[in-house]
Each structure stands twice: as structure tokens, then as C-alpha cells.
Structure 1
């Protein structure tokens, strides 16, 4: 990177992943896109299969759950708040045998609501729905999570 260039949120997430969530780094989870209100993560099939050749359920959970952190880092002030997951449900739809792509969206209105609530209370919850597709575009899992941003030092 040359002087004056900035790193994208996805690049920052990928650079930090090895130290912040080592198990996800070992799985090969990568942020493809992280911008306000939108995040996309991927994970390879290689090295992540179970005893019958499908992707291990924990890998699907991880690539779905981590979207909450990725979207938080891209949508909220990281000098003031950190994200955490409070609850997550996963709905397995089909066995996956190829690389995976997870995706989630958060509306501008919801980002503004969460930002205002966190400024007033030091923390704010939000719900995030995500999808996980295989390399052929088949829906293999969906997640519904409750996440929170919390003021640093709390």
C-alpha cells in the first residue's frame, strides 16, 4: 500500500482475523466485502468437511455468525464501540459440499437507530438475518442473530 491509500474494511478484517478469531482464520473464513449495511464472507470447502463429505455444521455456523461482526465494523464507529453476538439461530437447508458465501444486509435506518441508541445508552442491540449459499448458489443455511454494539470500556 502506498502513502495516501486506505485499507478497505474487508482488508482490515482479514488482516486481524488470525489474531482476533484464530479458529475462523484456520477454517479459511475471509471477508470479501464489508461496507456500511452490507457484508459478505467466504470459506473454502477444502479442509472443512465432516465424516460424510459435507461441510461441517460448525463452519456454516461460523461463516453465518461472523457477518454480525463484519457488518458492525463497517457500519459503526470502531473507536467507540465493539460488537458481540447475544444469540444466533441457524437453519440448515441443504448439505453443502462446495465453497460457501454468506451475506447480510442492515438498512440505513437501522444503522441510524442503533447508532443513536448506543450513543444514548452505551450499547444497542440489532437483529441480522443472513444467508449462506454454496458455489452453485444453492441456499444451504440461514441465520437470525441478535447482535450488540457496546461502548469500549463497558
Structure 2
């Protein structure tokens, strides 16, 4: 994905979801399969000097939201989180790196068809937050897109 689109997406997030700016969120990369969102530890740390659980949850949710926003391509659509679960496996001791994997083509086609036909569709996405090649956080969320 080109750098201009990544920067435009990041600007959209900072404008529409102001906390993303305060958290230092950046849309790092998207290769068509994996979207990577990053944020520095400094504005997102807890009293132990590791990433605050609330920040990790917000960034994981944001990674799913952003991937769906990019995949949908309908800038007038509204995207919300319907439900989620998160597992904190190990502390994040440095910069936060959230990776959301694009769903398989059949799932994505079903989602887009339902969205076009009904104006509403749900999609389950998984996000992992990694540090030094290890998964620190696992997030599973169901997102809803509305026209």
C-alpha cells in the first residue's frame, strides 16, 4: 500500500478518534495481507513501565477497525465493535506493534455481499500484539459495518 494512503488513513483516525493522536498511533504498513499499527510505549505505559492493558486493548481494536475500513473502501460507512475478547499473555515492554490479518477471500466476499445487499454486515477479526517475535496479546473482535 502506498505511503500516501497510509498517512491519509492515519490522519482520518487522528481526526475521527482523537485518543489515537494522544496515544501516538501510527498506521505503519499494509501489504494486502497484514495491517500493522504501532504506538510508542511512553504515552501508553502503566506504573510498572510496561504497556497499559487499556492501551493494548484500544490499539488492538483500532487495528481491526482500520483493516475493515481499508477493506470496505466505503468512506461513508460506519464501523463499530460489537464484541471482543482479549488475552494478555506477556507484558509489552517496548513499542506496541499490533498486527491484524486480512480474512480469507470467501469470508470477505460474504461480508461485502451482505453489506451491499442489506447495508449491514459483521466480520470477525483477529489481532496480535507482538514483541521480539513473540505474541504478547491476542484479540478477537466482531466488527459491524453500517451504511
Both proteins in one fold, TM over 0.5? yes
Gaps spanning 5+ residues in structure 1: where? none
Q: Which runs of 4+ in 1 moved over 6 A?
A: none
TM-score (normalizing by structure 2): 0.89
The alpha carbon displacement at 1:28 in A equals 0.7
TM-score (normalizing by structure 1): 0.85
**Post-superposition CA distance 1:104-128 (Å, at most 9, x none):** 1222222211110111111000100
Give the direction of change, closer, same or farther, for the CA distance of 1:63–1:79 in structure 2 (3 Å limit).
closer
**Post-superposition CA distance 1:50-106 (Å, at most 9, x none):** 111111111110111111221112111324522111111110000111001111122
Q: How many residues align?
A: 145
- Which entry has the higher C-alpha Rg, 1 or 2? 1
Gaps spanning 5+ residues in structure 2: where? none
User: After the TM superposition, which residues 2-151 of structure 1 pair with which residues of structure 2 at under 5 Å, given as runs?
Assistant: 7-8=4-5, 10-34=6-30, 38-105=34-101, 106-134=103-131, 136-151=132-147
The structure with the largest helix share of the pair is 2
Greater shift in the superposed pair: 140-149 or 30-39: 30-39
Distance (whole Å) between structure 1 residues aligned to residue 20 and residue 75 of structure 2: 24
Q: Is 1:128–1:144's contact at 8 Å kept on the other side of the alignment? A: yes
